[in-house]
Chains A and B, each alone.
Chain A
Amino acid sequence: METKTIDTHHVPVRYFEGGKGEPLVFLHGAGGVTAEDPLLAKLAEKYHVYAPLLPGYGDSEECGELREMLDITLHTWDVVAALGLKNPILAGHSMGGMIAAEMAAIAPNDVSRLGLICPAGLWLDEHPIPDIFAMLPYELPAVLFHDVEAGTALMTAGVALDDPEWLKGFLVQNARQMGMAGKILFPVPDRGLSQRLYRIKAKTLLIWGDSDKLIPPAYAHAWKKAIKGAELVSIPEAGHLMTLEKPDHIVKALAKLG
């Protein structure tokens, strides 16, 4: 994937681009995404992939003007416009799925295919989502992965989670990225989306890991109920970070969007 920058109204936006085929915009989750991400690589085998970073992620500039859901939704539409795309496939993981769904609800005539990978954005009292903002690094893998041991290695590239240098970097990166994510996910990731989902006209595919412990599969059913005609693909032995654990399965499922 190539790393590029594009100007938008508020702030220059970093994005990764690669592959050939139909344009697909991928919106990352609260943990961010890198040029080496295995899902982006797999997607690039089939699609022309654009993966913009939300301001504050990776090495991208922060943006104080983006404060709430509507700001972020419209900003991301600005990114799509700046990339010169019309009606690309919109796909998003977790927080990115939440943003993609908001985009599709706010501009239903501009999105015809929507791929939501265990999206955030709804809240069910009977299935409270763990407070990821209050977790210590070593506690994350158990919530994020199906295979916790393998997941830990993926998350840290082999470095120990209590390594002081790694922790320092993590602290700064976490403050920037999760600080930004907190604007729409903290403390309860409900920004009224459930009242807007009825507006979505896009053909919608929900992809959920069977062992997602962060946003458990009960949410898949709530989403399916809220979006007319949405189809659900469950992936066995996959946790919330199935983008790392099962990229092949995700790409295969997305083919259903046509």
Chain B
Amino acid sequence: MKFTWFNLMPWPYLPDDFREKHRSVWVDIDSRLFDPAKSHEVYNSYMDMLEYAGTLGFDGIGVNEHHQNGYGIMPSPNIIAAGLARRTSDVGLVVLGNSIALYNPPVRVAEEFAMLDCISGGRLVAGFPVGTSMDTNYCYGQIPALTREKYQEAHDLIRRAWSDPDPFAWNGRYNKLRHVNIWPRPIQDPPPIHIPGGGSVETYDFCIDNTYSYSYLSFSGYIRAKALMQGYWDRVAERNAPDESPYRAGFAQTICVADTDEEAERLYSEHVSYFYNRCLHVYGGFADAPGYRTIKTIQTGALSQYAPPIDGYSSLTWKDLTEQGHVIAGSPETVRQRMEELIKGLNVGNIFCLMHVGNMPMDKCMHSTRLFAEKVMPHLRGMFPDYKDDNRFWCKPLAKQVKPGSLPAEKEVAAMVGGKD
């Protein structure tokens, strides 16, 4: 099993009446709610938390890209990952990912991912999301019906830029480049690629064809995800993929661990409620720009899995959220049992652990994270023994990594360059 401690970086100061007074947390969120001076501490404590998780035995620490969004203040995950690359070692840097249809030309992504892979010594796990309609269409203005075609071209261009040793010309529909010859090149050939998806049949096929891991990043938990993930595995079978390795799939799950079940509710319910009521308050008109999703996907009914519960999240209590699996919370034993249910039920080898929730303060987050790392994770490690050597979907760091801060002392420098001090 591969566990990634994943952070969305929510803004923790949305007001109590956010839901009533504001239309949407995403796209047209009131920017007066953002306080740059406060964000200094917010960003740095989130980065500290990611680094802390990196010391506890998680396989990866993960970041992602969102725009104009109060629950994800990370428009450039690469900036965060660059900071993390310097202050972590061994742990995978999971950038899930860069929305490649948004960059003109997308060789910028090929270059930045290559830089991250080089700086981190081959620890990059790359993600290529098509991107939500909110980010891709409404915030970044991509034409909905052309988004997927543009994404496909960006993908093909990046893969070729990483691998072709010679300069080449790219006569694409969306990119016209006479000289593609990126410098630097990634250490890994290529970095493992995970594709976050929301149930599009085209994305299932894309992952199967390219040996990429399909990741379902939902907030509605593993029980509601069952049908969608089954759709993926059915497709794997239908398409005669060479194997059904669980590492072909990943799933994001909100997890809160405490000493007892009661303690979990006492410690975390406030923050879970903040997340479901304020952070997920998205105006319905932004959910899906017409043309963004193909008719084929709409007709497969995948959208019913994607849509929030009928009355929205606001009516859900702690009991509802935990029983229905939106959140896995409780004692280490409770969490272990439910994680097993998730892992077996969805047949997933990559878990993106959403352990910072809403406005959770760092002390609680550290507590929950440490309990998970020490008392839950070790018990889940050995699942899928048949596939324990399947490393196709994970990063392969250099055996020998340099440590930051390796400059010689000033005195030695003087001695070396001048021979006198």
Give A residues with C-beta under 8 Å from B. 64, 67, 131, 133-136, 139, 171-172, 174-183, 186-188
Could you tell me if B299 and A180 are in contact, using CB atoms closer than 8 angstroms? Answer: no
Knowing A136-B284, A172-B299 are in contact, say whether A180-B291 is a contact too (CB < 8 A). Answer: yes
> 6 smallest A-B Cβ distances: which pairs?
A179-B291, A178-B290, A134-B285, A179-B145, A187-B141, A174-B290
Residues of the B chain whose Cβ atoms lie less than 8 Å from the Cβ of A174:
290
Name 5 A/B residue pairs within 8 A (Cβ), A-sorted: A64-B149, A177-B290, A179-B144, A181-B290, A186-B144
A134, A171, A172, A178 — which one has the most chain B CB atoms within 10 A of its CB? A134
Partner of A175 from B143, B286, B293 at Cβ < 8 Å: B293
B residues near A (Cβ < 8 Å) are 27, 137-138, 141, 143-146, 149, 173, 283-286, 288-293, 295, 298-299, 303
A182 CB contact (under 8 Å) in B144, B285, B286, B303: B144
Q: Are A183 and B290 in contact (CB under 8 A)?
A: no
- Can you name the residue of chain A whose Cβ is closest to the Cβ of B141? A187
CB distance from B281 to the nearest CB of A (A): 15
Please measure, in the bound complex, the distance between the C-alpha atom of A134 and the C-alpha atom of B137, giving whole angstroms.
10
Tell me whether B146 and A175 are in contact (CB under 8 A).
no
Most B CB contacts (10 A, CB to CB) among A136, A139, A174, A187 go to: A187
Is chain A's binding surface mostly helix, strand, loop or mixed? Answer: helix
- Interchain nearest-CB distance for A102 vs B (Å): 17
| B290 and A133 contact, CB distance less than 8 A | yes
Give the chain A neighbours of B291 by CB distance below 8 A. Answer: 175-176, 178-180, 182, 186
Q: A150 to chain B: closest CB distance in Å?
A: 24
Interface of B is mostly: helix
B138 with A134: CB separation less than 8 A? yes
Residues of chain A with a CB closer than 8 A to B144's CB: 133, 179, 182, 186
The residue in B137, B138, B144, B290 that gathers the most chain A C-beta atoms within 10 A of its C-beta is B290
Q: A135-B285, A186-B143 are in contact. Are A172 and B290 (CB under 8 A)?
A: no
CA distance A133 to B139 in the complex (A): 13
The residue of chain B having its C-beta at the shortest distance from the C-beta of A30 within the complex is B290
Q: Which of A139, A171, A182 contacts B145 (CB 8 A)?
A: A182
Interface contacts beyond A134-B27, A181-B290: sample of 14 additional A-B pairs, CB < 8 Å, sorted by A: A67-B146, A67-B173, A133-B144, A133-B289, A134-B283, A136-B285, A139-B285, A171-B298, A175-B290, A175-B291, A178-B291, A179-B144, A179-B291, A179-B292
Please state if A179 and B290 are interface contacts (CB–CB under 8 Å): yes
Report A57 CB to chain B, min CB distance, Å: 12
Complex CA gap A211/B290 in Å reads 26
Residue of B nearest to A134 (CB): B285
Contacts of A64 in B (CB 8 A): 149
Which residues on the A side are within 8 Å of B289 (C-beta)?
133-134, 182, 186
Q: How far is the CA of A64 from the CA of B143 in the complex (A)?
A: 13
CB distance from A186 to the nearest CB of B (A): 5
- Residue of B141, B146, B149, B293 ringed by the most chain A CB atoms within 10 A: B146
Residues of B within 8 A of A175 (CB): 288, 290-291, 293, 295, 298
CB of B161, distance to nearest CB on chain A (Å): 24
CB of A186 within 8 A of CB of B284, answer no
- Contacting pair B137 A186 (CB below 8 A): yes
Q: Which residues of A contact B286 (CB under 8 A)?
A: 134
Shortest B294–chain A CB gap in Å is 8
A188 contacts across to B, CB distance below 8 A: 141
